[in-house]
C-alpha cells in the first residue's frame, strides 16, 4: 500500500505541475492526501436477476466448488512464483502475465462470487455448513487481489517506458519505480492470489466431501465391441471431470473409472460373463454424464451430445 499511495501522490503532484505549465488554473483542494488512502469495495455483489435457471442449493454449491477448483488449478499451472530477480519479472510481464490474462482470471472468479451471492448466500445450506461461509472469503480475497494486479499490469503496459517510449512515459517511469511495480505485481498481488486460492481449494474439497453423495445406475454395455479403448477413455474423462470417485461394478468387483486400464480389465470380465448391462457408482453429476454417454452408445459413431462436448478429441 505504501508503494501504491506514494506512486499516486507523485502522479498527482506531476498532474498539478503540468497543468500550471500549460496555463491551467489550479483550484486549491481543501482535502488532504489521506483521502487517497481510503479504498472502498463492495461488500456483496448484487444478484443477477437475469439468470432464471434454478438449481437446488446443494447442486449450486457443488458446482461452485468445482468451478473454483478449476480456476485455482489454472492459476497454479501458470507457474508464476515469487522471486527477487527483476529480469525474471520482465520476462514474465507482459509475455506470460498481462492485462488480458489477468482480466480472464478475474472474470472466472467474479463469476463464482456472483453465483454464490445469488444462489447460496443466506440459504439454509450456508447456515448449516460452516465451511461454506468461510469459502466466500476465499473467493473474494483473490478477486480483490487480482483487481490490484489488473490495474498494475495496465499501468505498466500503458505507461512504462520499457514497453512504450516517449517523453511522457519517461517522466512517469521516474515517478513510479518500474522494478518495484513489477515486484508488487508478482510478489504481492499474484502470489497472494495463489495463496488464497490454494487455501480456498482445501475448503472446497472439504465442502465437496460433505455434499457429494454417491448414487448407482445400471446402463447398457457399448455395442458391438464392449468396453474397448474408446468407450473406456470417455468414461475415464467423465470420472476426471468431477470431484469424487466413480467406479464400475462388475460381479461384486469395483473398478476405478479414472483408469483406462482398470476399465479395460473390467471390459474383459464383462465379455467373459456375457453381461449386457453394467453398474456405475459415483457422484450424481458424473453418473448423469455416464447415462447420457450410454444413451448415445458411448459415442461410437463420433457424434457427441452438447452436454458431453468436453469428451471430443481435439480437432473433431
Q: What are phi and psi of 278, to 5 degrees?
A: -150, 155
CB atoms within 10 A of CB 131: 19
pLDDT band at 315 (very low <50, low <70, confident <90, very high): low
Q: What is the pLDDT of residue 162?
A: 56
The whole-number average pLDDT for the span 139-163 is 85
Q: What is the pLDDT of residue 212?
A: 86
The whole-number average pLDDT for the span 137-149 is 96
Q: Which residues of 54-76 are buried (b: 16+ CB within 10 A; e: fewer)?
A: eeebbebbbebbbbbbebbeebe
The whole-number average pLDDT for the span 112-132 is 92
CA 298, 301, 307, 310 dihedral sign is: positive
pLDDT band at 227 (very low <50, low <70, confident <90, very high): very high
| Helix (H) or strand (E) segment spanning residue 189 | none
pLDDT band at 293 (very low <50, low <70, confident <90, very high): very high
Classify residue 255 as left (phi > 0), alpha (psi -120 to 50) or beta.
Answer: beta
**Pick from 131, 141, 129: nearest CA to 72:** 141
Inter-helix orientation angle 167-175/130-159, to 10° = 130
Residue ranges with strand state E in the chain: 214-220, 247-250, 253-256, 277-283
User: What SS3 state is found at 282?
Assistant: strand
As a whole number of angstroms, the distance between CA 300 and CA 221 comes to 12
As a whole number of angstroms, the distance between CA 261 and CA 270 comes to 14
pLDDT band at 179 (very low <50, low <70, confident <90, very high): confident
The contacts found for 161-165 with CB under 8 angstroms, 24 or more apart, are: 162/90, 163/94
Q: What is the pLDDT of residue 49?
A: 39
Q: What is the pLDDT of residue 51?
A: 37
Q: What is the pLDDT of residue 32?
A: 56
Residue with cell 465391441: 225
The whole-number average pLDDT for the span 7-21 is 74
The whole-number average pLDDT for the span 101-123 is 94
User: How many helical (H) and strand (E) elements, i.e. helices and strands, does the chain have?
Assistant: 12, 4
Question: Which tens digit of pLDDT belongs to each residue from 36-92?
Answer: 555 444 444 444 433 333 357 888 999 999 999 999 999 999 999 999 998 998 888
Q: What is the pLDDT of residue 19?
A: 75
C-alpha dist (Å) from residue 243 to 67, 70, 205, 231, 262 = 11, 11, 8, 20, 19
Three cell numbers written together for 292 = 447420457
Q: What is the pLDDT of residue 171?
A: 61
The whole-number average pLDDT for the span 302-306 is 89
Pairing of strands 277-283, 253-256: unpaired
Classify residue 252 as left (phi > 0), alpha (psi -120 to 50) or beta.
Answer: left
- Residue with the larger pLDDT of the pair 215 and 27: 215
Residue with cell 483408469: 259
What's the predicted TM-score (pTM) here? 0.68
HSE (side-chain half, CA atoms, 13 Å) at 181: 25
> Is residue 247 within 8 Å of 254, Cβ to Cβ?
yes
Ranked by mean pLDDT, which of 137-146, 204-213, 235-244 comes out on top? 137-146
Mean model confidence pLDDT for the chain: 85
User: Lowest-confidence range among 159-173, 252-266, 287-301?
Assistant: 159-173
Amino acid at each position: 500500500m505504501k508503494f501504491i499511495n506514494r506512486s499516486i501522490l507523485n502522479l498527482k503532484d506531476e498532474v498539478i505541475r503540468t497543468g500550471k505549465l500549460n496555463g491551467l488554473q489550479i483550484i486549491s483542494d481543501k482535502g488532504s492526501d489521506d483521502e487517497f488512502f481510503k479504498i472502498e469495495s463492495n461488500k456483496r455483489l448484487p444478484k443477477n436477476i437475469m439468470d432464471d435457471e434454478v438449481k437446488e442449493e446443494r447442486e449450486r454449491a457443488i458446482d461452485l466448488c468445482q468451478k473454483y477448483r478449476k480456476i485455482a488449478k489454472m492459476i497454479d499451472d501458470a507457474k508464476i512464483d515469487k522471486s527477487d530477480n527483476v529480469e525474471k519479472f520482465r520476462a514474465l510481464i507482459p509475455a506470460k502475465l498481462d492485462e488480458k490474462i489477468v482480466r480472464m482470471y478475474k472474470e472466472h472468479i467474479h463469476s463464482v462470487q456472483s453465483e454464490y451471492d445469488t444462489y447460496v448466500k443466506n440459504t439454509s445450506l450456508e447456515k448449516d455448513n460452516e465451511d461454506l461461509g468461510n469459502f466466500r472469503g476465499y473467493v473474494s480475497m483473490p478477486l480483490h487481489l487480482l483487481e490490484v494486479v489488473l490495474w498494475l499490469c495496465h499501468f505498466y503496459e500503458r505507461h512504462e517506458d520499457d514497453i512504450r517510449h516517449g517523453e511522457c512515459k519517461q517522466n512517469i517511469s521516474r515517478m513510479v519505480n518500474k522494478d518495484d511495480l513489477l515486484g508488487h505485481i508478482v510478489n504481492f498481488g499474484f502470489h497472494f492470489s495463489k495463496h488464497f486460492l490454494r487455501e480456498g481449494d482445501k475448503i472446497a474439497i472439504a465442502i465437496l466431501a460433505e455434499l457429494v453423495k454417491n448414487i448407482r445406475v445400471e446402463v447398457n454395455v457399448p455395442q458391438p465391441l464392449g468396453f474397448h479403448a474408446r468407450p473406456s477413455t470417455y468414461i475415464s474423462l467423465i470420472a476426471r471431470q468431477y470431484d469424487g470417485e466413480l467406479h464400475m461394478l462388475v460381479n461384486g468387483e469395483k473398478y476405478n473409472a479414472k483408469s483406462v486400464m482398470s476399465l479395460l480389465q473390467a471390459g474383459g470380465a464383462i465379455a467373459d460373463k456375457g453381461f449386457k448391462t453394467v453398474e456405475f457408482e459415483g457422484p450424481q453429476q458424473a453418473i448423469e454424464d455416464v447415462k447420457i454417454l450410454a444413451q448415445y452408445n458411448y459415442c461410437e459413431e463420433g457424434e457427441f451430445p452438447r452436454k458431453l462436448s468436453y469428451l471430443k478429441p481435439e480437432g473433431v
